[in-house]
């Protein structure tokens, strides 16, 4: 499979008379764009707001992030979501780089929603402060979940995917500034030189724990609660096969933007044929019962061994209950002779003194931490809020609270905030582009 991603660097995003891309400027006809988004009758109130790096702007509650793209042959960018189920991972797509479409609640947030600061001290906590964000700020008629802490957020999330494809159309007929090519030879057809290198597989554990459908990550539009571990080509992940869900605390989340640009996959590609033989991806899942967790670990270990993997990288979306799947998988791989490294965040409590993962195993002896979800973050007021700041305290966002007897409310009268890292949108960057480092005291 050969995937080509033609990249167009976005220098600025503005509202204008015509939706178009020219000389690095993405111009959006706001009236036409809003009419397109409101074709979904469940969106009852809407605004589109542009947020740029360095601004004193706070965005909350953020539900989804998507990179604008278009597929040149007419297939949907996100099969099973923005169009029919079609195979992806091959052919040419065009991408608008340096920007994202954000799905933002106009009023109501939920457990899996997060916060982004575009400037100041808060900007360092999330990748999305570095992008120009085109914010769909919407309210919906999904009354059945309006006051639920856990929301599916379907209308706003689907609007983000559709609008990202809509904007991608601006570069469909243009020549890209650069083309990234991702191609792996079939495993049994590789050269002797490549086969002599250590063989490595990436094991991904997207969020799939909610037994009621609609909250979990999707693969080709299919709820991953119904999924069992399978072998996937890495191009499928980079090319829209996976869609983010709405379940996990925001800092632990893989947004759809993360899947589209997954840095760990790209780094493995860079080393393929040089220091490693990159076999591909075992796409696993995260489960509810212990029996399910054990079964998935068995599947993963069997596939890795059968593929001839010498080493594996395992990464989980989330923490807490998913830690059991994560550690069981690491141990099962080690048991069949596959040397394994894990990438995850940790939950060591606000004081940093608690056990970092819910369960541990001596075989899991090579772990990469991307940060503590419980770290307290205190930030001054922002000049502008996109969405509704009170959602951080009122609506059960993981990391925010209405009142704490020691710390008070997450949102203070002057607009300053205190929260756990949990609420920073994709803040732990578990996909592989974390800027965090360890410091010894």
- 93 prior amide bond cis, ω within 30: no
Q: CA of 29: how far to CAs of 46, 88, 231, in Å?
A: 15, 30, 42
- CA 128 to CA 99: how far, in whole Å? 9
Residues 422, 392: contact at Cβ < 8 Å? Answer: no
Does 211 fall in a domain? yes
Q: What's this model's pTM, rounded to 2 decimal places?
A: 0.97
Question: 223-237, pLDDT tens digit by residue?
Answer: 999 999 999 999 999
The Cα–Cα gap between 298 and 287 comes to 13
In a domain, 439, yes or no: no
In a domain, 237, yes or no: yes
CA torsion sign, 137 to 142 to 145 to 147?
positive
pLDDT tens-digit series, residues 339-385: 999 999 999 999 889 999 999 999 999 999 999 999 999 999 999 99
Q: Does residue 222 sit within a domain?
A: yes
pLDDT on residue 165: 98
In 3D space, the residue among 295, 284, 268, 119 whose CA is nearest the CA of residue 199 turns out to be: 268
435 — pLDDT class (breaks 50, 70, 90): confident
Q: What is the pLDDT of residues 276-310, one digit of tens each?
A: 999 999 999 999 999 999 999 999 999 999 999 99
CA neighbor of 227 nearest in space, from 343, 150, 143, 325? 325
Average pLDDT value over all residues in the chain: 96
pLDDT score at 437: 72
Q: Which residues are CB-contacts of 169 (< 8 A; sequence separation ≥ 6)?
A: 70
Can you give the residue range of the structural domain that contains 307? 2-423
Say how many C-beta atoms besides its own lie within 10 A of residue 115's C-beta. Answer: 31
Give the dihedral of Cα atoms 201, 337, 284, 208; nearest 10 deg. Answer: -130
Reported as a single tens digit per residue, the pLDDT across 11-32 is: 999 999 999 999 999 999 999 9
Output DSSP code: residue 125: G
Using a pLDDT cut of 70, give the percent of the chain over it. Answer: 100
The answer to whether residue 435 is domain-embedded is no
For the stretch 92-140, pLDDT in tens is: 999 999 999 999 999 999 999 999 999 999 999 999 999 999 999 999 9
* Nearest CA among 151, 155, 63 for reference residue 113: 63
Of 134, 432, 102, 389, nearest to 257 by C-alpha is 102
With a cut of 80, say whether residue 441 has pLDDT above it: no
User: Which two three-digit tokens encode residue 269?
Assistant: 């590609």
| Rounded-to-integer distance, Cα 364 and Cα 327, Å | 7
Q: Classify residue 232: in a domain, yes or no.
A: yes
Confidence of residue 240 (pLDDT cuts 50, 70, 90): very high
The answer, yes or no, to whether residue 86 has pLDDT greater than 80, is yes
Angle at 315 between CA 102 and CA 99, to 5 degrees: 20
pLDDT band at 436 (very low <50, low <70, confident <90, very high): confident
Q: What is the pLDDT of residue 273?
A: 97
Given CA atoms 211, 212, 213, 214 in this order, what sign does their dihedral have? negative
Count of domains in the chain?
1
Over 80: is that where the pLDDT of 50 sits?
yes
How many C-beta neighbours within 10 Å does residue 18 have? 10
**Predicted pLDDT of residue 119:** 98
User: Is the pLDDT score of 439 beyond 80?
Assistant: no
> What number is the average pLDDT over the span 194-202?
98
d(CA 116, CA 365) in angstroms, rounded, equals 34
Cβ-count burial 212-221 (b if 16+ within 10 Å, e if not): eebbbbbbbb
Q: Answer whether residue 160 is part of any domain.
A: yes
**Chain centroid, CA 148 distance in Å:** 23
Residue 432 within a domain: no
Query: Is the pLDDT higher at 146 or at 342?
Result: 342
C-alpha atoms less than 13 angstroms from C-alpha of 25 in its C-beta half-sphere: 9
Amino acid 352: pLDDT: 87
């Amino acid at each position: 499979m050969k995937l080509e991603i033609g990249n167009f660097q976005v220098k600025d995003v503005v509202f204008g008379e015509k939706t178009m891309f020219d000389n690095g400027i993405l111009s959006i006809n706001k009236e036409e764009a809003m009419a397109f988004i409101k074709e979904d009758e469940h969106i009852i109130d809407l605004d589109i707001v542009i947020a740029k790096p360095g601004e004193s702007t706070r965005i909350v509650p953020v539900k989804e992030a998507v990179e604008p793209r278009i597929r040149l042959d007419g297939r949907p960018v996100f099969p099973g979501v923005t169009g029919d189920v079609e195979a992806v991972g091959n052919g040419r797509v065009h991408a608008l780089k340096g920007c994202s479409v954000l799905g933002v609640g106009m009023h109501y947030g939920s457990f899996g929603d997060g916060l982004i600061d575009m400037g100041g001290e808060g900007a360092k906590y999330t990748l999305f402060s570095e992008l120009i964000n085109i914010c769909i700020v919407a309210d919906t008629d999904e009354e059945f979940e309006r006051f639920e802490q856990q929301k599916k957020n379907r209308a706003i999330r689907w609007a983000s995917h559709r609008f990202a494809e809509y904007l991608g159309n601006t570069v469909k007929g243009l020549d890209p500034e650069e083309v990234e090519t991702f191609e792996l030879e079939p495993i049994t057809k590789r050269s002797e030189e490549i086969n002599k290198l250590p063989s490595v597989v990436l094991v991904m554990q997207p969020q799939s724990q909610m037994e009621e459908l609609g909250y979990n990550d999707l693969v080709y539009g299919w709820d991953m609660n119904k999924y069992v571990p399978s072998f996937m080509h890495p191009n499928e992940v980079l090319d829209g096969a996976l869609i983010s869900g709405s379940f996990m605390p925001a800092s632990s989340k893989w947004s759809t933007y993360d899947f589209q640009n997954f840095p760990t996959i790209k780094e493995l590609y860079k080393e393929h044929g040089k220091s490693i033989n990159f076999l591909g991806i075992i796409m696993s899942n995260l489960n509810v019962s212990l029996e399910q967790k054990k079964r998935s670990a068995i599947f993963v270990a069997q596939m890795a061994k059968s593929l001839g993997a010498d080493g594996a990288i395992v990464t989980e979306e989330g923490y807490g209950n998913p830690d059991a799947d994560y550690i069981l998988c690491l141990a099962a791989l080690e048991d069949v002779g596959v040397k394994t490294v894990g990438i995850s965040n940790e939950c060591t409590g606000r004081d940093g003194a608690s056990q970092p993962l819910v369960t541990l195993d001596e075989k899991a002896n090579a772990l990469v931490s991307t940060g503590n979800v419980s770290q307290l973050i205190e930030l001054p007021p922002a000049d502008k809020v996109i969405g509704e700041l009170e959602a951080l305290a009122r609506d059960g966002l993981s990391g925010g609270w209405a009142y704490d007897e020691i710390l008070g409310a997450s949102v203070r009268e002057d607009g300053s905030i205190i929260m756990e890292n949990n609420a920073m949108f994709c803040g732990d960057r578990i996909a592989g582009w974390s800027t965090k480092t360890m410091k010894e005291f």
